[in-house]
Structure 1
């Protein structure tokens, strides 16, 4: 069975235009920069199917050490499409969700990096506060704050 073969999810990757701005945004959210490097050459292009590529990556890690976000900036080949401002009901990458201790404070701090709330902050059955924000480069980010029974 497939689930017996799966060990863990290592990370989620997002391609960005400005690695510096993305690192600053996710650092403000509470993630820590684990490392930053340039990956290049035919070996890496064989993995992605892009051939001879050069990509600068930054690996961000959550405070609990369990989740990572790989931010990538392609130097070559050129980026060929842009889905950053796709609506919530678009196919493909939708959003990544983070649990925060204080929703209002988090939204306020991320606003200094250009983040805007998509709809509103809602109370889900007195268990969670939830919202979507458009973060750095228009990326859709979900935020959840545990407020009730499951806390």
Structure 2
């Protein structure tokens, strides 16, 4: 595809995926889980006020956020804990094919070590650890707040 289409030249393009935001009920536990996975805490803040209310379409927002960064510096995960208004309950055991369900995938270099380190943080396999052809070991697991996390280890 080029810089023009039938409507004329493009004026705006996506520069990058900046972050994925996930609402959690226990921010400390979610941070600990993702730190153990290998992400780095980039920063934390409390956000509130009329600009935040208008941005997210809620009234009286007060939330704490923690920005987690992948080791390569290219990916970010924003963990958000809403104090007000209270969050609606979701289904932390929703099947992975639920409309709108989220899944975050990470490339890893030692699947067994990472699974061993995440289990004390509540991680449990959704299905099974599988070998896909001769190229990857893959698994889906549940993380904090029911987050579906996929791990992929490239085989040599």
TM-score (norm 2): 0.90
8 Å CA contact retained: 2:91, 2:146 = no
Give, in angstroms, the shift of residue 3 of structure 1: 10
Give 3-state SS (helix, strand or coil) of 1:20's partner. helix
In 2, Cα distance between the equivalents of 1:137 and 1:54? 19
**Structure 2 residue aligned with 1:36, among 11, 29, 44?**
44
Task: Note if 1:118 corresponds to 2:126.
Answer: yes
Q: C-alpha separation between the residues in 2 aligned to 1:99 and 1:3?
A: 34
TM-score by length of 1: 0.93
**Match of residue 59 from structure 1:** 67
Radius of gyration: which is bigger?
A: 2
In 2: Cα distance, 1:83 partner to 1:7 partner: 33
Which residue number in structure 1 is paired with residue 58 of structure 2? 50
Per the alignment, in what secondary structure is the counterpart of residue 5 of structure 1?
Answer: coil
Distance 1:104 1:67 in 2: 23
Paired residues, number: 148
Moved over 2 A (4+): 1-4
Distance verdict in 2 for CA 1:52–1:28, change over 3 Å: same
1:1-150 matched pairs, under 5 angstroms: 5-148=13-156
Gaps of 5+ in 2: none
Larger deviation: 79-88 or 94-103?
Answer: 79-88
Question: What's the CA shift string for 1:25-58, capped at 9, x where partnerless?
Answer: 0000000000011000111111100022101000
The worse-fitting range, judged by mean Cα deviation, of 130-139 and 55-64 is 130-139
RMSD over aligned CA atoms reads 1.5
